[in-house]
Amino acid sequence: SKAHIVIPPHLAYGDSGVPNSKVLGGVTLRYDVEILDIKKPSPNDFALIDQNNDGRLSKEEAKAYFDSKGQMIDLEALFKEEDKDRSGYVDWEEFSGPKGDGPPDIVVQEQRRKMQEEQAAQARAAAAQQQAQQPQVQAQEAQQQVADVFQQMDGDGDGKISKEELAAAFVAMGSEMTAEFWGESDVDGDGFVDFGEFVGDAGGKKRDEL
């Protein structure tokens, strides 16, 4: 069928029209419209069965629907096939029959709620993981600080601190290294303090004094 639509100026672009365009003011718009096809809505058996609009189908709702159609159906077999999660209900995702052009609002809301819960759970898991990693990160930072101090004292960069290098570190801080302190630091008595000795008990004492 065809239709002729007339839109007067006061319902169209008024007296001023559209500035900087070819649409003039005071113009009456005329449209010829022809309907070529009418698309029928897709069948939605899910909505027909879901009488209480809760977004899921119960056995009672399914029985009432098939009874209204005069159809005999084995509900137990049907739900065994459709109810994938064995919840006692058939939800939108599980339903294999005609579902129209899209889920009902209640289903959309439930899907959105589940997505928000999943996002919140992921955020909580990420926060817990970050919190669990903090002690490890702090320990690594402390180890790096010790290594930096060792490198500063190791003037020639040979991987060990000589008695002279350690004494110089004390002097730089306005103090003086005692023979007792050196003896406690050089655990193996080889005349040097390696990194293992530096971070050991004697090294810990030495760092505290420094």
Q: What is the tens place of the pLDDT at every residue in 178-207?
A: 888 888 888 888 999 998 888 874 444 444
The pLDDT score that the predictor gives to residue 63 is: 93
Average pLDDT over every residue of 85-108: 86
Single pTM value for the model: 0.37
**What φ, ψ does residue 43 adopt, rounded to 5°?**
-60, 145
Q: How far is CA 155 from CA 143, 148, 152, 203, in A?
A: 20, 12, 6, 17
Please state which architecture CATH assigns to domain 138-209: Orthogonal Bundle (1.10)
Residue range 80-93: average pLDDT?
A: 93
Mean pLDDT, all residues of the chain: 84
Residue 103: count other Cβ atoms within 10 Å of its Cβ: 20
Domain residue extents for the chain: 2-34, 45-91, 138-209
CATH number of 45-91: 1.10.238.10
pLDDT digits (tens, 9 = 90+) for 43-67: 889 988 998 888 899 999 999 999 9
The residue with greater pLDDT, 65 or 118, is: 65
Q: What is the pLDDT of residues 126-167, one digit of tens each?
A: 878 877 777 877 888 888 888 888 888 888 888 899 999 888
**Same CATH fold assignment for domains 45-91 and 138-209:** yes
